[in-house]
Every structure is written in C-alpha cells, then in structure tokens.
Amino acid sequence: MSLDRQNAARKDELEGTTKSGLQSLPQLSPTTVKESAGSPPPTLWSQTRNNLAEPVVAAFMAGGVAGAVSRTIVSPLERLKILLQVQSVGRTEYKMSTWKALVKMGREEGWRGFMRGNGTNCIRIIPYSAVQFGSYNFYKQFAESPDGEMSPMRRLVCGGAAGITSVTITYPLDIVRTRLSIQSASFADLGVRDPSQRLPGMFTTMVAIHKNEGGVRALYRGIAPTVAGVAPYVGLNFMTYESVRKYLTPDGEKNPNSYRKLLAGAISGAVAQTCTYPFDVLRRRFQINTMSGMGYQYSSIWDAVRVIVAEEGMRGLFKGIGPNLLKVAPSMASSWLSFEMTRDFLVSLSDRE
C-alpha cells in the first residue's frame, strides 16, 4: 500500500473515532446550557425569606407581634388588675367598680397612668410570647401523629412545656413590670408622692432590685407559683383554642374566618385564666413581698395561701378577676388573630418569586 493510501486510511480512522466519541457524550439541551451558564446563586433576600418561612421561625416572629398587639390593647385593664391583686385586707384605695377605678386612675395620673408599665410589659411580652409560640411549635413536632393531628392531652403537655420555657427566660422583666405598675398608684402605705417626682424606669428598677434585695434570686422571686400557674394556663390556652378553632371550622374548609378565630381566642383565654387565676395572685404578692409599705411577708407558697384565705377569704385568691376577664376576651382574641395572620404571611414568603 502506498504512503498516500496509508495516510488516507489513518485519517478516516481518526475521523470515525472522533465522531463516535462525540456521539457518546451527553447531549445538552439549550435550556440546560442557558441555566448552567446564567443561573445566579440565591440572594440574601431569598435566603432570608426561606428562613422566615420555616414553621418554628414563623411562629416565633408571629408570637412576638401577637404579644405586643394584645397587651397594648388591654394595658389599662392589665394595670388595674395588678393594683387589685396587690391590695390586701384593710386597703380600700381601689375597692370600687372597674369603671370607677379606671376613672380614678385617669384623674390622678392622666393618660400615662393607663399605660404605666406597658413599655416594660411589651419589652417582656415580645420575647415571652415569641418563645411561647415558637417553642410550642417546636415541641409539637415530636407529639404530632404522621397526619399532623394531636390529641387534646398532647396539646396540653406541649403548651405547658412552652409556658415553662417562656416564663423562665423572661421572668425578671415581669417582676420589674409589676413594680412599675404600682409605684405611681395612690396606695396610702407607699407614702405621698410628689407629682413632679420622676419615677425610676425599667433598667433603674431592675438594678435596684438586684443591688438591694438579694441579687439574681431577687429577680426570680415568685417564680415557683408563676411556673405552677403558667404551665397549666398556657397548656389550657393552646388546647382550648385549637379544639374550639377546629369545632368552629366549617365542613370542607381548612380554616375558619377571622370572626370565628376571634371567638376561639376569647373562649380559650377565659377558660385558661379562670382555672389558673389564684396562681397569678400569688405571683403578684411574692413579687412585692419585700417592697416596703405593702405589708406582705410570706415565707412560702402554702404560707401565702393560708394567710390570704384566713384574712381575705377565698375571694382573696380571685382579686382582680373582674377586670382580668374583661381584658381576656380582646387580649387573647387579638393575640391569636394577629399571630395567625403574621404567621401565614411569613410562611407564604417562600412561595413568592
């Protein structure tokens, strides 16, 4: 064979090998080529939206919003409830109807009196409510059945655990809020206050309690009756709300309308508050146990119950429940509605382009 023919044969072999090699490579569609060449990495905003849409995170954020909204709406009644709770036998400064007591508060302290302690309360309630709703959604992941259902008892347990978690984290702010709520009130034993006197704020009060009343332990005074009351209260609240909400949801629909959610929230709050209210009275009494002029020197929870019942009767354990029930309906109704609206909005962020 001549050299030219050999070269031609080798050329044909190389071309055949090259063609067969190219045919064996995977074929890329125009769309694939375009995506591989121009697909941008996820943006910070996209990642943030996806993180906010996570169920536990969304519940945490929505819980903070719900707490701030609900407590601000009922701040005057919340403060009046505290003033009635700390008023022991023989004191008559606020022994009057709810309306007259609110008028007295406004006349003596102005509109600021209605909101006294609400700033601290919101600073407390935002993390408290956020942790409560977020931890409830975290705990219920371990209690739900495969189809996402939970029995009332499991809701009660998860809610109780969420309540203990939230109150332990935020309790020092609660004790400061109580002090701020009563220091400007017209209790005779607290002495006559100069109207021009500037009252201490949240941080100053917290430092004074820590410095003068026993350090960190003073900031957690009364936490035992608080936990004893909060665990069943939060458990009953979550259990009752979800049960009533399910009952009020029309057949064939996934969610009830806003009015039905408001009704479910009001019912759940009233049931939970009424069942656990004596624990709330004990909590307030212990929080001011060392406050001069108020006359409380309880040595234990049982001692406090014994003294209150002996001196004030069983009604003493339910002091302030009137304005408390008046505030529960708008408070819990607005809390649950704002929680669901905020949570649904955050969850929907992951579906947006």
Q: CATH number, domain at 141? A: 1.50.40.10
pTM score over 0.75:
no
283 assigned to some structural domain: yes
Structural domain contains residue 323: yes
Question: If you write DSSP's letter for every residue of 108-156 in order, what string do you get?
Answer: HH-HHHHTTTHHHHHHHHHHHHHHHHHHHHHHGGGT--TTS---HHHHH
The 3-state DSSP composition of the chain as helix, strand, coil percent (nearest 5) reads 75, 0, 25
**Could you list the pLDDT tens digit for every one of the 353 residues in the chain?**
444 544 555 555 545 554 454 455 445 455 444 444 455 677 888 888 888 889 899 999 999 999 988 888 888 877 877 777 776 555 666 666 777 878 887 888 777 777 777 777 787 789 989 999 999 999 999 998 888 788 999 999 999 999 999 998 888 888 887 777 666 554 445 555 555 566 677 778 888 888 888 888 888 887 887 888 789 999 999 999 999 999 999 988 888 999 999 999 999 999 998 888 888 888 778 777 665 555 567 778 888 889 888 988 888 888 888 877 877 888 899 999 999 999 999 998 875 54
Q: In Å, what is the CA distance from 24 to each residue of 19, 34, 50, 227?
A: 9, 22, 40, 70
Within 8 A by CB and 6+ apart from 150, the residues are 140, 143, 144, 158, 242
The angle subtended at Cα 253 by Cα 251 and Cα 258, nearest 5°, is 110
Residue 1 within any structural domain of the chain = no
Q: Does residue 9 lie in a domain region?
A: no
Would 203 be classed as within a structural domain? no
How many structural domains is the chain composed of?
1
Q: Where in the sequence is the domain holding 311, given as residue range(s)?
A: 45-187+222-348
Assess if residue 208 is contained within a domain.
Answer: no
CA distance 52 to 210: 37
Q: Is there a domain that residue 8 lies in?
A: no
By C-alpha distance, which of 127, 124, 118 is closest to 63? 127
Question: The dihedral of CA 244, 249, 251, 255: what is its sign?
Answer: negative
